Amino acid sequence: MQEFAEKLYAPGGALEGAHPWLISVAVMLGGCLIVFLFAAHIAGIYSWFERRFAGRIQSRVGPNRVGPQGFAQWAVDGLKTFQKEDLIPEGADSALFKLAPYVAFAGMFCVFAALPFSSSWVIADFNVAMVYIFAVASVEAIGILLAGWASNSKWSFYGGMRSAAQIISYEIPVGIATLAMVIAAGSLSLQEIVRDQGVNPLDWNLFYSPFAAVAFLCFFTGAIAEINRAPFDLPEAESELVAGFATEYSGLRFLFFFFAEWANIYVISAIATCVFFGGWQVPGLPTERLIQFGAPITYGFLTLTMLGAGAMGWWIAAARDDKGLRGGTGNSVAATIISLALGWGPAITAGVLLWAALMFGVPPGIQKFMANVVQMLCLFAKAHILVVLVIQLRWTLPRLRIDQLMMLCWKYLTPAAFIAVLGNAFWMTYVAPDSIFQKLVRLALFAGFVTLLVIFAMRVARNLRQTRSAVDLKLNV
């Protein structure tokens, strides 16, 4: 971002002569706005995804009324909360009560500033990114503690206290586990840690040494606890503390807490991806290669957009609601406008652009842009797998008790994280990066990882076989 701003006000740049400081701030704010929109959509879409996913797990349907597969549910839910009454309980500390959700939200959002989206897309690529992330992530604890304290409710108070104890404790194993990988990469910058890992899955940090795998387990378990997700959702604990720190909240403020929660799932998954799974590195395709392939990627992207938007337009135009009305709106003019705006319009635009690209070639700037897009999608795909894991854990496991939670942190995770750091330090000192031993270890760990995945898939298949009885229960006859 800073480089982009420098380019703008440098001699020969688009805004030559403008005040450098002003341009930098404007560019940063612009970047923040983009990331805010990104975070909002991520949080919303994951809230919908989680509800659908949980529905599948629990033999029910989940939201399916608004949009295809209920996809627009998150948007209408968000809009609905806007109109809800903003209640402030009697005796609450009004100022702190109002402030708390935004503090919690800010803690989550600030992390985005240091998250690298691709080889050149990162809001602030600074050399202490890991330290910064842990610093701002714990701001969320302050927000929740404030909410618990200011609500003037004992249940909220319990939630806030639990949250503070939990987040502060779990920061230690999480921080130390990441340190193991910081040692290996030799940098605190997240972008550097990603660059340090090669393009191939074998070069990912996860397979660096056996200690790296331990570090990943510590990091991921601890990170789930840090964002208060089940099985560590004690601060909310709906069966014990009503709704924990969020008990007294309503409307937009409530929304902000949950905005932060769902965006946090993506945040921890993205950090885990960057530190252990090669971040935005596209397997087999280094950045230079991707830029070389910029033109074909552009063609492919435009073709996909054309087909996708066309299908969307077709779906909207052809969709009928229960009463047989077009587009579910009951108004065929509106349905036509929507299908034009969301489907046919973009499809035609993409088609024209594709034609232009094929006729006149793709400019180098666009080629670089498209390479970044591919890297971002790759990061997103990797992170998405971890998000699915987080969601699956939530809908499978019961909640821990507070003493068990603390025991897990201090008796198991923290020592394990220390072992991971020491182990990785020794590994760095005594195992040469290009030695045959290192390569064998990587291969063995990779094979072990794949075996684990296969065993998991086999167990899932076995469970499915065992439970699916031969009897088809026709429930509604």
Partner 1 sequence: MSVASVSSSGEEMLLNMGPQHPSTHGVLRFILRTDGEVISAVEPDIGFLHRSIEKIAEIVTFEQFMPYTDRVDYLAAMNANHAWARAVEEIAHIEVPRRAQVIRVITDELNRIISHLLGGVGALAMDLGAVTPFLHAIRERETVNDIIESLCGARLTYNYVRIGGVWYDLPRNFADRTLEFLDHFEPALDEFDRLAGQNKIFKERLAGVGVVSAKDAIAHGLVGPNLRASGVKYDLRRNMPYSIYPELEFDIPVGQGILGTVGDCYDRYWVRIQEMRESVKILRQAFKMLPDDKTIKAKLPSVLKPPAGEIYVAVEAPRGEMGWYLVTNGGPKAHRGRVRTGSYAAMSAIRFISRGLMIADLVACIAAFDTIAPEVDR
One-character DSSP codes across 87-138: ---TTS-HHHHHHHHHHHHHHHHHHHTT---SSS--S---TTHHHHHHHHHT
Write each residue from 107 to 136 as x if it is in contact with partner 1 (CB under 8 A), else as -, in one continuous string. ------------------------------
Nearest approach in angstroms of CB 78 to partner 1 is: 23
Q: Does 87 bind partner 1 (CB under 8 A)?
A: no
d(CA 439, CA 458) in angstroms, rounded, equals 28
Per CB under 8 A, does 429 bind partner 1?
no
d(CA 437, CA 210) in angstroms, rounded, equals: 13
- Residues 399/148, Cβ–Cβ less than 8 Å: no
Stretch that binds partner 1, among 63-71, 171-179, 231-239, 252-260 (CB under 8 A): 231-239
Interaction of residue 3 with partner 1, rule CB under 8 A: no
Eight-state DSSP code of residue 280 = T
Going by C-alpha positions, the residue among 124, 109, 114 that lies closest to residue 37 is: 109
Closest separation between CB of residue 397 and partner 1, Å? 6
Report, in Å, the least distance between residue 470 CB and partner 1: 8
Q: How many residues touch partner 1 (CB under 8 A)?
A: 35
463 sits near partner 1 (criterion: CB under 8 A) = yes
**Which residues, 6+ apart, have CB-to-CB distance to 220 below 8 Å?**
268, 272, 386
Q: Nearest distance from residue 433's CB to partner 1, in Å? A: 38
Residue written as token pair 């969709």: 319
435 binds partner 1 (CB under 8 A): no
- Residue 402: both structure tokens together: 């507070």
Identify whether the C-beta of residue 233 lies closer than 8 Å to the C-beta of residue 264: no
Query: Does residue 83 interact with partner 1 by CB under 8 A?
Result: no
**Is residue 52 part of the contact set for partner 1 (CB under 8 A)?**
no
In the complex, minimum distance from the CB of residue 458 to partner 1, in angstroms, rounded to a whole number: 15
471 makes contact with partner 1 (CB under 8 A)? yes
Q: Write down the least CB distance from residue 403 to partner 1, Å.
A: 7
By the 8 A CB rule, do 248 and 149 touch?
no
Residue 231 lies near partner 1 (rule: CB under 8 A):
yes
Instruction: Note whether 357 binds partner 1 by CB under 8 A.
Output: no
- How many Cα atoms sit within 13 Å of 146 on the Cβ side? 20
Structure token digits, residue 64:
């399916």
Among 88, 240, 285, 314, binds partner 1 (CB under 8 A): 240
> Using the rule CB under 8 A, is 49 a contact of partner 1?
no
469 sits near partner 1 (criterion: CB under 8 A): yes
Minimum gap (Å) between residue 244 Cβ and partner 1: 11
To partner 1, the closest distance from the beta carbon of 223 in angstroms equals: 18
The reply on whether position 227 binds partner 1 by CB under 8 A is no
474-to-55, 83, 471, 477 alpha-carbon distances in Å? 20, 42, 9, 6
Contact call for residue 90 and partner 1 (CB under 8 A): no
How many Cα atoms are found within 13 Å in the side-chain-facing hemisphere of 137? 31
CA–CA dist 390, 388 (Å, integer): 5
Residues 387-406 that bind partner 1 (CB under 8 A): 395-404
Which one of residues 100, 230, 265, 409 is an interface residue with partner 1 (CB under 8 A)?
A: 230
The answer to whether 191 and 122 have CB atoms below 8 angstroms apart is: yes
CA nearest 4: which of 124, 127, 130?
Answer: 124
Q: Tell me how far, at minimum, the Cβ of 249 lies from partner 1, in Å.
A: 16
Contact between 246 and partner 1 (CB under 8 A)?
Answer: no
What is the footprint of partner 1 within residues 153-192 (CB under 8 A)?
A: 154, 158
Structure token digits, residue 370: 């498209």
User: At how many degrees (to 10) do helices 364-394 and 20-57 cross?
Assistant: 40
Residues found near partner 1 in the complex (CB under 8 A): 54, 57-60, 154, 158, 230-231, 233-234, 237-242, 395-404, 463, 466-467, 469, 471, 473, 475-476
